[in-house]
Amino acid sequence: MRTSQMLIPTLREEPGEAETVSHRLLLRAGMIRKVAAGIYTYLPLGLRVIRKVEAIIREEMNRAGAQELLMPIASPAELWRETGRWDFYGKELLRFKDRHERDFCLGPTHEEVITDLIRREVRSYRQLPLNCYQIQTKFRDEIRPRFGLMRGREFIMKDAYSFDRDEAGAQVSYQKMYDAYQRIFTRCGLTFRAVEADTGLIGGTSSHEFMVLAETGEETIVYADEGAYAANVERAEVLPPAETAAESPRPLRKVPTPGVRTVEEVTAFLKIPPQQLVKTLLYQTPKELIAVLVRGDHEVNEIKLKKLLGVVEIELAAPDKVRAATGAPVGFAGPVGLRGIRIVADQSIKALRNVVVGANEADTHYVDADWERDFAVERFADLRNARAGDPSPVGQGQLRVARGIEVGHVFMLGAKYSQSMKATFLDPQGQETLAVMGCYGIGVGRTAASAIEQNHDAKGIIWPAPIAPFHIHLLPLSQSAAVTEATRSLYDTLTQTGIEVLWDDRDERAGVKFNDADLIGAPYQLIVGEKGLAQGLVELKQRKTGEAARLPPNQVLAHVQALLSNRPIS
């Protein structure tokens, strides 16, 4: 393709709206443009990247035995009412009415629609297992769309759904998808890690997220420095404390702590380590206000808390509720004398003696409080986030922490949807049996964006070759007849063998062309200049390393083919 014939509106200025590298560079390289919050147009260059990612996904899904189909974006409310998700999904589900006043939504995911299809079409165990996938636009009215393609409202997803005769079959289908995902993200040229993920209310261990490792990731993952354990911090289990403090309890005392409320302030004021402070957090659930105790240096894991309480929603209680319940402003809540409120505590509290807690009185704390003597904990449980240095929950090594971007998710659903929607088949004995399901998503745009988060420099994007919009950016440095002729000949030779070349045929200064090429990020730049040609040479430069080889034009093809197939250059 020639630059002059493509819409590639590169920007020299930093776009103000962009918060992350990938968002900024996708805008600057003329690959996307915002239409509304979280809603983008993919321009020709950006779309080429999207299509490359899709092609890799498609090949590997087909290889794994999945079949492609395409479901509609609009789906009728009745299906969502069957599973209860019409109410449960909340505001992320964009709803509308058609001209007959019937309720519809834009599909944020397609379990309902696929399960409806399969329950109608599959009668016998002989038709199973089945795995169907689509690559399609999803809509989720995200509360905070941001970071460009990373968290959009409208975005492209590959979603697959497997249907099996039994649990064992479903495990096989799950493993096939897990393996396919390993191949997909490897082929995309990404550094990633599969981690154990939270399974929500379904339980079990069969849920993995595929995380592209990047400092800018929204997710926190932990992994053991020995062995294979890796998990999303949302899920990572924390072992109970090894031993209880040897101290004997001292008498409870009330001390004035004027104006100090945060962990840092209180521990500095009382000259104690944060492990000696117990934070009391009040959470509002749909049912009640509940007090949660964690050590001063720990963080509450709200997912674990929700599971313990059996609720789907919790939030920190508003300051006025805290005041009403404790009689004190936020920062001074404590378990001693807290009436009418259940108290749950992280298991680490059990090992502590003589702790500092809020006194439910402004500017006051208790010191030397003791859980056995001074307050009533209803349950001790694992309620905190794992952190660096914790022992691995599966026995080997210590945990480390990294940031990741969730690009894919494989999930064992069991009979959740087949049960509510009555998706059954007849087993060999003629018994009606529920299909066992799995679901498997990949964010296509997010995968492309995460490749940029992982591969860029100050000048722009450095695409992994398999998903680059073009393999080669061809840069003639003048408009002279000799240069144009050599360029055209290289272009023809390369494109005839299927190599994708973007030919910058604009009458622009060399500097402008180099800047755009570095910004757009094709893995190789082929530079044709007057001086070089006079010596019979052109320059082939690697975007990533800046390494340049000077070659006679007739050797370029062999060189490029070797580079693109990772072969040594012969």
| Orientation of helix 444-454 relative to helix 44-63, angle to 10° | 110
d(CA 22, CA 234): 25
d(CA 360, CA 334): 6
Task: Write down the least CB distance from residue 462 to ligand ATP, Å.
Answer: 22
d(CA 376, CA 369): 12
Interface with ligand ATP (CB under 6 A), residue from 148, 445, 523, 529: 445
Nearest to 164 by CA among 382, 468, 413: 413
135 near ligand ATP (CB under 6 A)? no
**Are 439 and 133 contacting, i.e. CB atoms less than 8 angstroms apart?**
no
Nearest residue to the partner ligand ATP, using Cβ? 443
Chain residues 100-129 in contact with ligand ATP, contact rule CB under 6 A: 109
157 near ligand ATP (CB under 6 A)? yes
Task: Write down the least CB distance from residue 451 to ligand ATP, Å.
Answer: 13
Distances (CA, A) of 224 to 297, 409, 410, 561: 21, 21, 21, 40
Interface with ligand ATP (CB under 6 A), residue from 52, 304, 446, 541: 446
183 near ligand ATP (CB under 6 A)? no
In this chain, which stretch among 2-10, 187-195, 378-386, 441-449 interacts with ligand ATP, using CB under 6 A?
A: 441-449
d(CA 64, CA 184): 11
553 near ligand ATP (CB under 6 A)? no
Interface with ligand ATP (CB under 6 A), residue from 438, 441, 469, 521: 441
438 near ligand ATP (CB under 6 A)? no
Chain residues 225-244 in contact with ligand ATP, contact rule CB under 6 A: none
**Pairing mode, if any, of strands 472-476 and 524-528?**
parallel
In the numeric block, which tokens belong to residue 444? Answer: 């296509």
**Are 354 and 368 contacting, i.e. CB atoms less than 8 angstroms apart?**
yes
217 near ligand ATP (CB under 6 A)? no
DSSP state of 158: E
443 near ligand ATP (CB under 6 A)? yes
In the numeric block, which tokens belong to residue 545? Answer: 């390393």
Distances (CA, A) of 228 to 55, 189, 225, 398, 466: 30, 22, 8, 12, 28
> Which amino acid does the sequence have at 548?
A
d(CA 336, CA 346): 16
193 near ligand ATP (CB under 6 A)? no
d(CA 17, CA 11): 13
208 near ligand ATP (CB under 6 A)? no
Interface with ligand ATP (CB under 6 A), residue from 406, 504, 516, 518: 406
By rule CB under 6 A, what string of x and - marks binding of each residue 508-547 to ligand ATP? ----------------------------------------
In the bound state with ligand ATP, the residue whose beta carbon lies nearer, of 149 and 266, is: 149
46 near ligand ATP (CB under 6 A)? no
In this chain, which stretch among 252-260, 377-385, 419-427, 437-445 interacts with ligand ATP, using CB under 6 A?
A: 437-445
148 near ligand ATP (CB under 6 A)? no
**Are 326 and 332 contacting, i.e. CB atoms less than 8 angstroms apart?**
yes
Interface with ligand ATP (CB under 6 A), residue from 409, 488, 506, 544: 409
d(CA 80, CA 110): 10
Which spans of this chain sit near ligand ATP (rule: CB under 6 A)? 109, 140, 142, 151-152, 155, 157, 406-409, 441-443, 445-446
